[in-house]
Amino acid sequence: MADRSAFSPESLTENRLLYWIAAGLAVVMLAPVIWIVGLSLKNNQELMLGTEAVFRAPYTLKNYADIFVNSQVFGWFLNSMIVAVGQTLGVLTLCSLAGYAFARLEFPFRRTIFILVLFGLAVPEQAVIIARHQMFNWFGLHNTHIALMLPGMSSAFGVFLMTQFFRAIPREIDEAAMLDNTSQFRIFWKVLLPLTMPAQATLGIFTFLLAWNDYWWPLISATKKEMFTLTIGIASSQTNFAQSEGLGFLSAQAIFASLPVVIVYIFFQRHIVTAVSGGAVK
């Protein structure tokens, strides 16, 4: 008991052994990724003879350069960008408007509609995807960017999140603005919306990731190769694996495709964690 440092509750819950086991297990998280990075830096012919070549030089960036030569991957990348950015902007617009109204305005059936929207949270994608596919077929919308963006905008999660956020802003702020002769839309636009920027960032990043990573819907909606998103495109070039493309090139594609989300993750980790845990833990 020579330790005279102040008592901290952490000392009761922290466990060195658990911590070091967790640190050791991190190898399992990292090893596959390092393996892929290694492969991506190797010449494909050399890898054909045996992948243990990863452990020795020479290394090359040729696989990455090939991505830009192989225009298809770059086109898929653009598709993914257009779809993810478009869907994100759409979600932010729709959810901010709806969240404001649900939190602040009175209109007939407000509660009923809100509860109905919340029920939407419980609808899994596979329960609607067949019918959606037919609907987009009716309007000949498949193989368009719009078709890839739209379904994600119906997600109830964003409305829920924005409503919570608008509710957290004190009502006196609106009231002060009303006494300042501010019109309804201007209160929304000039006074409240700027205050929801942290929520916009959270929802925006979260939506971007979902859209970027979406697999099911693009798989059935985008059937033309030039309309593929990166997820679908890379998956399609995997089918006849190793033989045609070469492990190194495949690995480089995978890394290239993940670059945007990894960058977003590195810079906005806090927002992403808030978004995924916000819904479940109050």
Partner 1 sequence: MSAAIQINDVTKRYGALTVLENIDLEIAPGEFVVFLGPSGCGKSTLLRMIAGLEAVDSGTISLGGDRIDTLPPGKRGVAMVFQSYALYPHMTVSQNMGFGLQNIGVAPRDIDRRVKAAAETLEIAHLLDRKPAKLSGGQRQRVAIGRAIVKEPQAFLFDEPLSNLDAALRGRTRLELAQLHQRLGATMIFVTHDQVEAMTLADRIVILNERRIEQMGAPMEIYQRPATKFVAQFVGTPAMSFLPVSGIEDGARGVTLDVAGAGRVETGVHLPATFARENASLGIRAEDAKVLTPGEDGVPLRVKVVERLGDRAFIYGTLSDGTDFVVEDAGRSTVAAGQEVRIGFDPDALHIFDSAGRAYHHTEGA
Partner 2 sequence: MAESYRRSRWSHALFVVPYLIVFLTLLVFPLFWGMWLSLNKVDLFGGAEFVGLRQYARVLSDPVFHQAVRNTVIFVAVSVPVLVGLGLFLALALNRKTRGAAFLRGLYFSSTILSVTIVTLIWRIVFIPNDGLMALIFAGLGWEPIGFLSTKGWSLFSVGVATVWWCIGLPMMLLLAALQQIPADLYEAAALDNASKGRILTRITLPSIKPTIMLVAVIQIVMQFQLFGQALLMTNGGPAGTSRPIVMYIYETAFIRWDVGLGAAASEILFVIILCAAMLQYWISTRKEEV
CA distance 282 to 272: 16
Stretch that binds partner 1, among 120-128, 169-177, 200-208, 274-282 (CB under 8 A): 169-177
Provide, rounded to whole angstroms, the least separation between the CB of residue 202 and partner 1: 17
Per 3-state DSSP, what percentage of the chain is helix, strand, and coil (rounded to 5)? 75, 0, 25
3, interface contact from partner 2, partner 1, none, CB < 5-8 Å by kind:
none
CA distances 166 to 104, 137, 162, 163, 227, Å, are 8, 37, 6, 5, 37
Provide, rounded to whole angstroms, the least separation between the CB of residue 180 and partner 1: 3
51, interface contact from partner 2, partner 1, none, CB < 5-8 Å by kind:
partner 2
CB-wise, 24 or 194, nearer to partner 2? Answer: 24
The string of DSSP codes covering 236-256 is HHHTTTTTSS-HHHHHHHHHH
Provide, rounded to whole angstroms, the least separation between the CB of residue 57 and partner 2: 18
Q: With binding defined as CB under 8 A, does residue 194 bind partner 1? A: yes
CB-wise, 77 or 188, nearer to partner 1? Answer: 188
CB-wise, 52 or 172, nearer to partner 1? Answer: 172
Residue labelled with tokens 């037919």? 134
Identify whether the C-beta of residue 162 lies closer than 8 Å to the C-beta of residue 180: no
Torsion angle of C-alpha atoms 68, 70, 72, 78, degrees rounded to 10: 0
CB-wise, 47 or 187, nearer to partner 1? Answer: 187
Contact footprint for partner 1 (CB under 8 A) = 170, 172-173, 175-183, 186, 191, 194-195
